[in-house]
Amino acid sequence: MMIFRISQSLLMAVVTFAFVNVGLTADRPNLIWIMADDLGYGDLGCYGQQVILTPHLDQMAKDGMRFTQFYAGATVCAPSRSVLMTGQHHGHTRVRGNAGQRNPIAQALRPTDRTVASILQQAGYKTALVGKWGLGDVGAAECGLPRRHGFDNFFGYLNQQHAHNHFPAFLWRNEDRVSLPNEVTPIGESGAGYATKAVAFADDLFADEAVKFVETRRSEPFFLYWSMVIPHANNERTRELKNGAHVPNFGPYADKAWPDPDKGQAAMISRLDEYVGRMLDVLRANGLAENTLVIFTSDNGPHQESNHDTARFSPSGPLRGMKRSLTEGGIRVPFIAWWPGRISAGSVSNHVGYFGDWMATAAELAGTAPTADCDSLSLAPTLFGNVDKQPKHEFLYWEFHERGFKQAALYQERWKGIRAGSPDAPVTLYDLQNDLGEKRNVTSEHPEIAAKIGSYLASARLASDDWTPDWNPPGQ
């Protein structure tokens, strides 16, 4: 993987040349990154979904560019968000897993971590985070609070346990608690609980906040990171009520002869689809669409924690695995780019990219430099149809710290290797070009490729005091 480790002055010269070369106007574009939580590769109609209605996102894909092989930063939320913010791959970024309340500092960015929000803020962008953060909290992890990492404004959840409840008793505005009219019964280790009086649905409030931010922007370019919580399950409610798909109503699925968890799961996805459609309409109505790049994606693969029937919806589509898996279903995500007049309508890209590429992409479009230690390649050539000028990653990397340490790498956009059990365990190799569902281990047929990936896995990660590999956890 190419890593930026050249001087800032040289890098600025390169970026300036690229900025001019793509033919951008003097007005730097607004940037909006919209991210669902636990939405699968196959959950949208434009990616093959047959049951759940997503007309706005399907139209967004028709009006923009749909990527077919784009990857999240990780297979669970906190490290995936860390990769997105820092532009560093999973073996280099600060937060490598979900630590939660067990070790909150391990799930927090530190003062030395520079984010894409911070470089855009320094370049004159107005920056806002709406929704779920997951990389800092009040108390021991306050070093990771959003406004310490480049966001002018924040409204939402600080940690993911709190975000389990879609009807919380409070949210955060910057560093202040904002009470909501919900009554919450705390249960479980996290105490997130579920609402016994459900009045204010957090994602409805986030949609209002995101739209308000955009509608009031006039004098300077902006970066909005809109991090939804749906369709994530309320895990505590799943354990207590056997239905973690907590949503204000079942919408178009109310009359379906389905169990309530299935209705709720589908309703959450259609609800987020409506949010995105509303945002695109607001951009058009305010004359901002032609100078705004909007990205829609998901933080990792789909969950199966709402007690819903995954067979009904096939959320991973043709891929194997789900959230917490290093097979494609856990890390390959929907990715749609929309920019009227700049991105060709109805275009489809098979370029292989990942969350870390947002750092270099946003920096190039803003006419500034990415951080010097990121693992990031700008997507601008692909977005503007200059595919012959698009640099490519030799390797992409992921790891997973729950239930025993695992590693995975993608080599030359085709070969997927997974290692589990020990640092000397053989690599399980898949040929994604001919086996998208990862059904057949081809290590014996391509031992030289398996060995190359194995060597890369041994050196891909930097040591971390917070995230040390545990190949053989107790009791396993």
Give yes or no for a contact between 420 and 473, defined as CB atoms under 8 angstroms apart.
no
Is 60 exceeded by the pLDDT of residue 287? yes
Looking at residue 473, what is its pLDDT? 64
Q: What pLDDT, on the 0 to 100 scale, is given for residue 218?
A: 78
pLDDT at res. 18 = 43
**Are 384 and 342 a contacting pair, CB within 8 Å?**
yes
Q: Answer whether 0.85 is exceeded by the pTM.
A: yes
Least confidently predicted of 92-96, 215-219, 392-396: 215-219
pLDDT level of residue 12 (50, 70, 90 thresholds): very low
Position 157, amino acid: Y
Going along the chain from its start, the domains and CATH numbers come out as 8-394 (3.40.720.10), 403-459 (3.30.1120.10)
Residue 431 has phi, psi (to 5 degrees) of: -100, 95
Q: What is the pLDDT of residue 5?
A: 37
Report the percentage of the chain scoring pLDDT > 70. 93
pLDDT of residue 470: 87
For 168-172, 218-222, 383-387, which range has the lowest pLDDT when averaged over its residues? 218-222
pLDDT at 472 over 60: yes
Show the 3-state SS of the chain.
CCCCCCCHHHHHHHHHHHHHHCCCCCCCCEEEEEEECCCCCCCCHHHCCCCCCCHHHHHHHHHCEEEEEEECCCCCHHHHHHHHHHCCCCCCCCCCCCCHHHCHHHHCCCCCCCCHHHHHHHCCCEEEEEEECCCCCCHHHHHHCHHHCCCCEEEEECCCCHHHCCCCCEEEECCEEEECCCEEECCCCCCCCEEEECCCCHHHHHHHHHHHHHHCCCCCCEEEEEECCCCCCCHHHHHHHCCCCCCCCCHHHCCCCCCHHHHHHHHHHHHHHHHHHHHHHHHHHCCCHHHEEEEEEECCCCCCCCCCCHHHHCCCCCCCCCCCCCCHHHHEEEEEEECCCCCCCCEEECCCEECCHHHHHHHHHHCCCCCCCCCCCCCHHHHCCCHHHCCCCCEEEEEECCCCCEEEEEECCCEEEEEECCCCCCCEEEECCCCCCCCCCCCCCCHHHHHHHHHHHHHCCCCCCCCCCCCCCCCC
What integer pLDDT is reported at residue 102 of this predicted model? Answer: 78
With 50 as the cut, is the pLDDT of residue 375 above it? yes
d(CA 327, CA 440): 12
- Assign 23 a pLDDT band (cuts: 50, 70, 90): very low
What average pLDDT does the segment 132-149 reach?
A: 97
Owner of token pair 């028709």: 62
- Kindly report, residue by residue over 169-192, the tens digit of the pLDDT: 999 999 999 999 999 988 876 678
Which of the four pLDDT bands, split at 50, 70 and 90, describes residue 475? low
Q: Is the pLDDT of residue 476 over 90?
A: no
**In b/e form, how buried is each residue of 430-455, taking b as 16+ CB within 10 angstroms?**
bbbeeebbbeebbbeeeeebbebbbe
Q: List the one residue out of 300, 388, 387, 297 whose CA is nearest residue 337.
A: 297
Q: 65-71 and 347-349: which strand pairing?
A: parallel
On the question of a cis peptide bond just before residue 231, with omega within 30 degrees of 0, the verdict is yes
On average, the pLDDT of the chain sits at 93
pLDDT greater at residue 145 or residue 192:
145
In this prediction, residues 381-394 reach a mean pLDDT of 98
Q: Which residue in 133, 115, 104 sits closest to 466, CA to CA? A: 104
Closest CA to 63 of 467, 344, 317: 344
Q: Are 454 and 385 in contact (CB under 8 A)?
A: no
What is the per-residue pLDDT for 474?
59
Q: What is the mean pLDDT of residues 70-99?
A: 97
